[in-house]
Amino acid sequence: MKLYNSNLSPYTARVRLLCNVKGLNIEYVDPPGFRTDAYRKINPIGKIPALELDDGTVLPESEVICEYLEDMFPTPTLRPADAHDRAQARLIARMSDLYIMPAVRPLVFKLFGREISPQAVTEAIPNLNAALKDLEALIGEGGYAAAKQLTHADGALAASLMFVTAILPRFDVPKPLEGYPKVAAYWTAISKDKHIAKILGEMQEGIKKAFGG
């Protein structure tokens, strides 16, 4: 199998987490541009990640890819055995996708030099603080996002928090997790997990390459 990948992307990072934990032999390749005609011939959505299967089928979207890999390669698993714990893990992953990353995205686009409205930039940090406040109320304990074990939610959340902690200081917020003690404790703990540390290190290299520093 082949994963269209970028080390900068938090969405590809969560897929690489599953690949690492499960010991899968998957080739990581750069896409031929983003949303380009050449890449859309491979993946009609034109975004990363996308997983190309052995039969040539291409699966887009990180959550879909992670669920597929869990179904196909169930051991070792990052899917909790208990239904409530599975729901909690999915909840945290969704919070990362729907609230944290959308709040940070305008700031990332600005660093890339894209034309972003001043209002979107102004609203980004308050929106992020609202998301972090909600996360503070719902995040799991024991150093993990949910279920007191490593799950796919950790791939999603840790990768998002890498963006938060790397991008916000560039906008005069040196301690973006200050005021959210449970989130900050989670960030400190999860960064020490060997599998998470690997994907965060790869993301950090991607961020340095893209934005310097």
Number of domains in the chain: 2
Range of the domain at 125: 83-211
Tens digit of pLDDT for each residue in 161-182? 999 999 999 999 999 999 999 9
Final residue before a domain boundary, out of 21, 45, 72: 72
Q: What is the pLDDT of residue 14?
A: 97
Name the token pair of 187: 């960030």
Q: Same structural domain for residues 90 and 143?
A: yes
Which ranges of 83-149 would DSSP assign to H, the alpha helix? 83-95, 101-111, 118-138
Residue 58 phi/psi, 5° resolution? -120, 125
Whether the per-residue pLDDT at 60 is higher than 80: the answer is yes
Whether the per-residue pLDDT at 193 is higher than 90: the answer is yes
Parallel, antiparallel or unpaired: strands 58-60 and 27-29: unpaired
Tens digit of pLDDT for each residue in 135-159? 999 999 899 999 999 999 999 999 9
- Residue at 77 is within a domain: no
Band the pLDDT of 213: cuts 50, 70, 90: low
- Residue at 167 is within a domain: yes
Q: Same structural domain for residues 101 and 199?
A: yes
Confidence (pTM): 0.94
Report the mean per-residue pLDDT for the chain: 95
Q: Same structural domain for residues 94 and 131?
A: yes
What would the mean pLDDT of 193-203 be, rounded to a whole number?
97
Q: Same structural domain for residues 112 and 206?
A: yes
Strands of the 58-60 sheet, one edge to the other: 27-29, 2-4, 50-52, 58-60
102: closest CA among 81, 127, 78? 127
| Residue 189 near residue 141, CB atoms below 8 Å | no
- Residue 32's domain is classified under what CATH number? 3.40.30.10
**Dihedral, CA atoms, 188, 191, 194, 195, nearest 10 degrees?**
140
Terminal Cα-to-Cα distance of the chain (whole angstroms): 34
The H or E element spanning position 2 is strand 2-4
Q: Same structural domain for residues 65 and 162?
A: no
Q: What percentage of the chain reaches a pLDDT higher than 90?
A: 93
- What radius of gyration do the chain's Cα atoms show? 17
